């Protein structure tokens, strides 16, 4: 099942690239494996997946220990400052930096472990109350402040688009995020590049790719629906 799903996602990504006349080599697929057992991650790994996304520190660390060393781990969920120390030297990219305080903590822990941590700035692109992320208008200032921290490298922007029935409704938000990244990139801020645009999930990744995503985060489309324990 995972093999077929992955083939389908890759085919869709290629189609979207073709629609937008983009090089498929520019877009990475992150397999979002949150809540899924390691056995399923191993299946995806066997199919060639090397990039996995998790949204909880404990779960990421557990899976990190059980999976091969060449996996690139992406922290895509809201990150609490007191948990930063457990993952700074384990992640390839933190997608969810949305405050200076969090960035300062990442930088501090990175220096202790003598690593430099690549991060994305999370943008609340549709201004939703329920979402984390900074507003588009605050993004440049936050990027400028974070760029001064020695343990961090800013590599781009991330957004979670609204939940919609029709992915076309999110095209405007993806286009807006892309424009924001171009605007910030033009400022030529030291220690900042805008190479990564992390946008698009199972329901809307084709539209996201058409609008310039370089990094889609697909969970359900690869591993199937998530079941959360009843509390």
Ligand X SMILES: *Cc1c(COP(=O)(O)O)cnc(C)c1O
Specify the residue, 60 or 151, whose C-beta has the smaller distance to ligand X: 60
CB-nearer residue toward ligand X: 119 or 218: 218
Output the six-digit token pair for 218.
């697909």
On whether the CB atoms of residues 44 and 2 are closer than 8 A, the answer is yes
Which residues, in sequence order, are bridge partners of residue 93? 74
Asked if 120 is part of the footprint of ligand X (rule: CB under 6 A), the reply reads no
Tokens 């999370």 belong to which residue?
Answer: 122
CB 208 to ligand X: min, Å: 11
User: Which spans in 20-71 are helix H?
Assistant: 38-46, 57-66
In this complex, which beta carbon is closest to ligand X, that of residue 167 or of residue 203?
203
HSE, side-chain direction, 13 A CA sphere, residue 184: 31
Neighbours of 204 (CB within 10 A): 25
Residues in the interface with ligand X (CB under 6 A) total: 14
Q: Is 53 helix (H, G, I), strand (E, B) or coil?
A: strand
Instruction: Give yes or no for residue 56 binding ligand X (CB under 6 A).
Output: no
Residue of the chain from 118, 133, 151, 219 that contacts ligand X (CB under 6 A) = 219
> Which residue has the closest beta carbon to ligand X?
219
Q: Which is nearer to ligand X, 45 or 151 (CB)?
A: 45
Which of 201, 207, 208, 215 is close enough to bind ligand X by CB under 6 A?
201
Under rule CB under 6 A, residue 55 binds ligand X: yes
Residue with tokens 């095209």: 171
- State the residues that interact with ligand X by CB under 6 A: 32, 34, 55, 76-77, 160, 201-203, 217-221
């Amino acid at each position: 099942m995972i093999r077929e799903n992955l083939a389908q996602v890759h085919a869709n990504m290629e189609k979207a690239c073709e629609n937008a006349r983009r090089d498929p080599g520019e877009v990475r697929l992150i397999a979002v494996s949150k809540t899924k057992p390691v056995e399923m991650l191993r299946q995806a790994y066997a199919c060639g997946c090397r990039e996995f996304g998790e949204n909880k520190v404990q779960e990421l660390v557990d899976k990190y220990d059980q999976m091969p060393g060449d996996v690139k781990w992406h922290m895509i969920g809201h990150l609490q400052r007191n948990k930063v120390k457990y993952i700074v030297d384990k992640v390839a990219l933190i997608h969810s930096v949305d405050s200076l305080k969090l960035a300062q903590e990442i930088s501090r822990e990175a220096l202790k472990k003598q690593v430099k941590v690549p991060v994305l700035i999370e943008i609340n692109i549709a201004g939703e109350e329920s979402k984390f992320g900074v507003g588009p208008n605050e993004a440049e200032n936050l990027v400028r402040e974070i760029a001064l921290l020695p343990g961090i490298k800013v590599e781009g922007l991330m957004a979670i688009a609204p939940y919609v029935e029709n992915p076309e409704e999110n095209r405007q938000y993806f286009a807006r995020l892309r424009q924001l990244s171009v605007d910030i990139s033009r400022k030529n801020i030291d220690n900042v590049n805008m190479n990564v645009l992390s946008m698009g999930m199972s329901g809307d990744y084709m539209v996201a790719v058409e609008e310039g995503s370089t990094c889609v985060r697909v969970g359900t489309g690869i591993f199937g629906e998530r079941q959360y324990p009843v509390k």
